[in-house]
């Protein structure tokens, strides 16, 4: 293998890693009947004209398994934070006492758990699509190199097998992460 093929493999590995990272981040945002501070990661507050994530303006704790407590550092912003959480459509209604915002996660019904599992599977499939796109890009570059005479047919075949190995390993990882999340969600 030459330097160019190494760069193609590195690029392919990087794209696969990005896809896997995205899958894990998306799974953190899904709630499984217990409080998870990551559910607030995509909630932003207009803080003096600047969209600011909640985690940058409050401490988020889990005092009980199904309760999140959000302690806003700037007390004048408690109402704004509470309103932003309510508008974020998380399926949880915030309650505040003027100092602390509490989010009580309801116990998930069997039906809701199954809906969440469908979302988990959809995210896994999207991740697989992203890895297949990385494979397609890598194979196109390798075939282009072969056309230009930089790779022989045997080298191309070897490289294609290596790229496929990367995709197969990524697929196994995607399935494992998906099964783990499914199990977590279906756990009562």
Is the pLDDT at 168 greater than 90? The verdict is yes
Is the pLDDT at 130 greater than 70? The verdict is yes
Q: How far apart are CA 4 and CA 148, in angstroms?
A: 13
Q: How far apart are CA 181 and CA 6, in angstroms?
A: 34
Model confidence band, residue 179 (pLDDT cutoffs 50, 70, 90): very high
Strand order across the beta sheet in which 67-72 lies: 58-64, 67-72, 100-104, 94-96
Strands 50-53 vs 94-96: parallel, antiparallel or unpaired: unpaired
Question: In this predicted structure, what is the pLDDT of residue 36?
Answer: 77
pLDDT digit string (tens) for 47-81?
888 888 988 889 999 888 788 899 989 888 888 88
Domains, the chain, in order of start with CATH, read: 3-29+109-186 (1.10.132.20), 37-104 (3.30.1360.40)
CB 99 within 8 A of CB 71: yes
Question: In this predicted structure, what is the pLDDT of residue 32?
Answer: 66
pLDDT digit string (tens) for 134-150?
999 999 999 998 898 88
């Amino acid at each position: 293998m030459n330097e160019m093929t190494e760069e193609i493999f590195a690029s392919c590995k990087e794209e696969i890693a990005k896809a896997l990272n995205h899958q894990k981040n998306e799974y953190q945002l899904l709630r499984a009947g217990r409080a998870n501070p990551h559910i607030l990661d995509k909630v932003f507050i207009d803080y003096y004209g600047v969209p600011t994530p909640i985690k940058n303006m409050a401490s988020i704790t889990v005092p009980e398994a199904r309760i999140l407590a959000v302690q806003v550092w700037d007390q004048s912003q408690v109402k704004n934070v509470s309103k932003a959480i309510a508008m974020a459509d998380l399926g949880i209604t915030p309650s505040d006492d003027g100092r602390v915002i509490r989010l009580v996660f309801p116990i998930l019904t069997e039906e809701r758990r199954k809906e969440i599992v469908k979302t988990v599977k959809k995210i896994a499939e999207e991740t697989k699509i992203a890895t297949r796109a990385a494979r397609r890009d890598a194979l196109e570059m390798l075939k282009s190199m072969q056309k230009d005479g930089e790779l022989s047919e045997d080298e191309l075949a070897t490289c294609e097998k290596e790229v496929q190995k990367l995709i197969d390993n990524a697929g196994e990882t995607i399935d494992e992460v998906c099964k783990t999340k499914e199990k977590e969600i279906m756990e009562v």
